[in-house]
A and B are shown apart, each in its own frame.
Chain A
Amino acid sequence: MTETSILRVESVSLSFGGIQALNRVDLEVLPGEILAIIGPNGAGKTSLLNCINGLYRPDSGHIFFENLDITPLKAHKRARLRMGRTFQHTELFAGMTVLDNIKSGRTMDIQANFFGAFFHVGKAVREEMKHRRELEETVIDFLDLNHVREQPVAMLPHGLQKRVDLARALALNPKVLLLDEPMAGMNIEEKEDMASFFLDIHRDLGATLIWIEHDLSTVMNLSDRICVLNFGEKIALGTPDEVRQEPDVIEAYLGQEEAG
């Protein structure tokens, strides 16, 4: 156990009925790294992210964030520790505009009380404008969402929805960003855009990225380390080169990939 890890998953197990989604998974994430989680369908990747950000409660094990045991904390409390999250099947707020979706990531930073908001006076208005400007100048500009900000998200094409999902998570100034297949269903160009957003996020915001992805060449190119899951077990963890060599991985994942 190094003092330096930003996130530590300790022997986390989770089961659904008879299915062991996660089996005593250990994982330590270093600050500022890009860590990929890979594995075949149903390996437990999404379940692991859900345990980390509190949407699932593990049957046993602990999660530490900056050396604080967050296992008992609800998801919204963990978000407040600056843990951002995007979803495999974009779970946007379909009835709201792009701008409101993104602003909702700032909930925890807005202190104005109810009556200020009701009468639209004082601090409530000032805060609202401050965050609007910040979001415009950082997230919206950065992810190139200027042209759609007033549109209801339900009308957007898939690739843009994925970007709004990312924007929303970025709006909460995450220290750790959990991304569940952010490139799924994208074409090559969109994937390249997304990859450059990644590197920018990593460089400019210094956020730690944990992401799930199926496309191995992208994973190998972009990640510092890779964690491989199979049937709920962690079967490998290391740099792309190390992981490529692991016999277990070749058998469980890469081999299957080559065969299929």
Chain B
Amino acid sequence: MKSIVTDLYSAYYAPYIKESYREDEAIFKSRFQRTWFALLVFALVALPPFMGGYHTFFMTQVLIAVIGAHGLNILLGYTGQISLGHAAFLGVGGYTYSYLAMVLHWPFWLAIPASGLTAAGLGLFIGIPSLRIKGIYLGVATIAFQFIADYTYFHWTTFSGGPQGRAVEAPAFFGYAMTSPLSFYYICLFMAVVLLWGAKNLMRSKYGRCLMAVRDNDISAEALGVPVFKYKILAFVISSFYAGVAGALLVIHLRNVYPAFFHLNVSIEYLAIIIVGGMGTVMGTIFGALFIVLVPEILSNLISSLAQWAHNPDITVLMAPMRLIIHGFLIILFILIEPAGLAGIWRRISSYWKIWPLPYI
């Protein structure tokens, strides 16, 4: 009698009982996900040698945007703390790198993490207002930081090189200068993979749960023993670390550092990446970065061919501010129509294909 009951019981719950909890907590739970991921990594490693300089340069740009944007995603998407000063943290990373590498001649593999850590250290202080202020007010406070940073980059010449900026050389690995875009692409790919994987791991640990608890309900988070303020600060620190690393990579990528790389419009661009891509997911960051870097590129190609076709080079000048307008437009569009972003659309499509060809069961 007893065995019949237990049999029935386990038959009923069979779909919910996993072989091991460890398997259940894996990042990629289904074969579908694992296959896609393997294909993606393979393509990212194997294709660039055949792509040519232009495309490799472009892909590097995307990878850097992915790293920087995921920092913002950890802060805003996972922890719910808004920042409009994200570009300023990229700036801290970029300038620190240029100073350490060009003035103090540190090797790149030391200077990049050091740039991230410097930005993280500053993030610790910039996060403090989040103790008292929330939402849009925190946004305003971080804009203030953005403006102070802009001013500093422009005027603190010994550190930043001032308005003329500073040239940044290709990184050298034990005396061997890696001037080819391809080798730098692989450095960025490595950094992006490690940082995204680490972020994903964090989100399945106590740290990630606490960040999300702060985002979803800070009152019950406190009541469950989550020190809310500590985790808000932690979010700022992690976020600015990612931004700092992205900033360092960016100045290596562009071989230069200028104040204009880190203005408010770049902060808005990063905001657009995670809103368009989808907040609170790694997928969202990747889709968003690809999209936001891709669209202006395609557009400017279109415009220059338009200018040629119309024999009117002025069009290019007229269209220059378009970039910011497009970002603004995309932010509004996605907030209104698809708050889960491109990642949300992707999730719907993939859950359809997972059960294909019998989608209605």
Contacts and interface: CB of A to CB of B under 8 A. Distances in A.
Interface of A: 53-55, 74-76, 79-80, 85, 87, 91-96, 100, 103-108, 110, 112, 114, 117-120, 124-125, 128-129, 132-133, 136, 146-147, 149, 168-169, 172
A105 B219 CA distance: 13
Contact of A96 (B13, B206, B216): B216
Contact of B216 (A53, A75, A93, A146): A93
Contacts of A120: 201, 204-205
Interface in B178-228: 198, 201-202, 204-210, 212-213, 215-217, 219-228
B16 A147 contact: yes
A100 B280 CA distance: 15
B216 A107 contact: no
B280 A95 contact: yes
Contacts of A112: 205-206
Contacts of B225: 76, 79-80, 105, 107-108, 172
B22 interface: yes
B217 A74 contact: no
Contact of B13 (A119, A124, A129, A146): A146
A35 to B, nearest CB: 19
A124 B207 CA distance: 11
B223 A53 contact: yes
Contact of B16 (A92, A103, A128, A149): A149
A169 B225 CA distance: 10
A54 B215 CA distance: 20
A80 B25 CA distance: 26
Interface string B23-40: 001000000000000000
B228 A104 contact: no
B205 A124 contact: yes
Given A95-B215, A118-B198, A128-B25, A74 B222 contact: yes
A168 B217 CA distance: 13
Nearest to B198: A118
A104 B205 contact: no
28 contacts: A54-B222, A55-B222, A55-B223, A74-B222, A74-B227, A76-B222, A76-B224, A76-B225, A76-B226, A76-B227, A79-B222, A93-B213, A93-B220, A96-B209, A96-B216, A100-B209, A104-B213, A105-B224, A107-B209, A107-B210, A107-B225, A112-B205, A112-B206, A117-B202, A120-B204, A120-B205, A129-B21, A168-B220
B21 A104 contact: no
Contact of B22 (A55, A94, A129): A129
A128 B205 contact: yes
What does DSSP make chain A's interface, helix, strand, loop or mixed?
helix
A129 B100 CA distance: 42
A129 B23 CA distance: 10
A111 to B, nearest CB: 9
Nearest to A79: B225
A63 to B, nearest CB: 15
Given A129-B22, A149-B16, A117 B223 contact: no
B284 to A, nearest CB: 13
Contacts of B206: 103, 106-107, 110, 112, 117, 128
Given A55-B219, A93-B217, A107 B226 contact: yes
A208 B160 CA distance: 61
Given A93-B212, A93-B213, A129-B22, A104 B226 contact: yes
A213 B212 CA distance: 30
Nearest to B29: A150
A133 B209 contact: no
Q: Can you list the 8 inter-chain pairs with the closest CB atoms, starting with the nearest?
A: A79-B225, A117-B205, A93-B216, A91-B220, A120-B201, A75-B222, A110-B206, A118-B198
Interface in B217-250: 217, 219-228
Contact of A133 (B21, B204, B207, B208): B21
A30 B220 CA distance: 25
Contact of A118 (B16, B202, B209, B227): B202
Contacts of A146: 13, 16
A53 B221 CA distance: 12
B212 A96 contact: yes
Nearest to A113: B207
Contacts of A54: 222
Contact of B223 (A75, A94, A119): A75
Contacts of A94: 216-217
B116 to A, nearest CB: 13
A13 to B, nearest CB: 22
Nearest to B199: A118
A125 B228 CA distance: 24
Contacts of A125: 22
A104 B210 contact: yes
Interface string B319-331: 0000000000000
Nearest to A171: B224
Given A54-B222, A92-B217, 12 more contacts: A53-B223, A74-B222, A76-B223, A85-B223, A93-B216, A94-B217, A103-B206, A106-B206, A112-B206, A132-B25, A147-B16, A172-B225
